[in-house]
Amino acid sequence: MASAVIGLGTYLPLRRVTNEELADRFDTSDEWISTRTGIHTRRWADTGQATSDLAVTAGERALKSAGLTPDDIDAVVLATTTPDHPCPATAPAVASRLGLRTIAAYDISAVCSGFLYALAAGHGQIAAKNAQRVLVIGAETYSTILNPADRTTNVIFGDGAGAIVLAEHTRKDQEGSILGVDLGSDGSQQDLIRIPAGGSRQRATPGDATEEDHYFAMQGKAVFRQAVTRMGDSANSLLQRIGWDKDSVNHIVGHQANVRILKALADYLELPHERAVINIDRVGNTSAASIPLALADAAHAGRLKPGDRILMTAFGGGLTWASAAITWPSITPV
């Protein structure tokens, strides 16, 4: 028993932040940002707009895309680095606001790999027959955790949300099928990407932490160095396991961290750059929302045809990495 994607919905906050706007506020330039990251604009949430607000709209749209009502959903898995609160999880609030029944709802914390970890969790719930239809959401408001003194992270990250509906199916060749997932982590490198304070290691109480400790911090170069090999090795191992010939992959939907990483990933996989889906230029790095936003962007552009083989792969804080293989279903993202 396995699952298939039957709906996809996305939401981007209205506020568009250009490189020029950031160049007015930081010691940076459109030229540096465009050439070093490939990003031209990103969206940032309005003041007061929380991660659940984005997730609810993406979730509503995913239900619409799948042609389902709230009663049809049996579980919600929400991937985020920016929950509404440290406690409780954001998923139950999202489920409630979507008008779902009192179903299982929980968060996944795997930073930029979060969406694929959540996908694996949803797939597992269906395989275990705990659920027939699962709403899997990746939603982020990184603009709320960026250090106002750190130009590097401010130019990279954007806000957004994407959601898919997974449904039970019985045929492995059904379009939209999840044919395999590969997950990995290396906690010995947890310091490369983190928010130092606010957890049990370093409490949020005044005096215990500096203001800076509450912001997202990243050692960009060290992250960059291993992003390609971690995603590439994970993707290769998955391809081997499910028996897909590399050349048969129609689209690589990699986590949108940096356009240079996406191109290097295609090189590492020995596939042409044209097979890499790229939307980072318009949305920046949206962490857990990155993969569903890239899928929707490619679908809207008419690039994804039913039955196309899609290799998704992501890398992020933890460190964590993940890959998943699906065939594209006959759906219209909303």
Stretch that binds ligand COA, among 46-54, 132-140, 149-157, 246-254 (CB under 6 A): 149-157
Distance of alpha carbon 6 from alpha carbon 332, whole angstroms: 9
Distance of alpha carbon 141 from alpha carbon 146, whole angstroms: 10
- Label residue 180 exposed, middle or buried (CB < 10 Å: 0-12, 13-18, 19+): buried
Judged by CB under 6 A, the number of residues near ligand COA is 20
Stretch that binds ligand COA, among 3-11, 164-172, 205-213, 223-231 (CB under 6 A): 223-231
Burial code (b: 16+ CB inside 10 Å, e: under 16) for 285-295 equals bbbbbbbbbbb
87 given a catalytic annotation: no
Q: Whose CA is closest to 122, among 246, 3, 263?
A: 3
Distance of alpha carbon 328 from alpha carbon 102, whole angstroms: 31
334 near ligand COA, rule: CB under 6 A: no
112 given a catalytic annotation: yes
282 near ligand COA, rule: CB under 6 A: no
Stretch that binds ligand COA, among 5-13, 30-38, 49-57, 99-107 (CB under 6 A): 30-38
Per-residue contact flags (x/-) with ligand COA for residues 76 to 115, judged by CB under 6 A: ------------------------------------x---
Distance of alpha carbon 241 from alpha carbon 113, whole angstroms: 20
Say if residues 306 and 175 touch (Cβ distance below 8 Å).
Answer: yes
Cβ nearer to ligand COA, comparing 316 with 333: 316
Starting at the earlier edge strand, list the strands of the sheet with 133-140: 2-11, 160-169, 133-140, 75-79, 104-108
Determine the number of helices (DSSP H) and then strands (DSSP E) in the chain.
10, 13
9 near ligand COA, rule: CB under 6 A: no
Distance of alpha carbon 331 from alpha carbon 328, whole angstroms: 8
151 near ligand COA, rule: CB under 6 A: yes
Say if residues 265 and 231 touch (Cβ distance below 8 Å).
Answer: yes
Which of 227, 276, 293, 325 touches ligand COA (CB under 6 A)? 227
218 near ligand COA, rule: CB under 6 A: yes
Instruction: Determine which one of 147, 258, 279, 285 is catalytic.
Output: 285
Per-residue contact flags (x/-) with ligand COA for residues 285 to 304, judged by CB under 6 A: x-------------------
Cβ nearer to ligand COA, comparing 287 with 327: 287
CB of 289 to ligand COA, least distance (A): 13
CB of 231 to ligand COA, least distance (A): 9
- Tokens 């949300």 found at: 161
Cβ nearer to ligand COA, comparing 224 with 244: 224
The residues annotated with a catalytic role in the active site are: 112, 255, 285
- Chain positions contacting ligand COA, by CB under 6 A: 28, 32, 36-37, 112, 151-152, 155, 193, 218, 220-221, 223-224, 227, 257-258, 285, 315-316
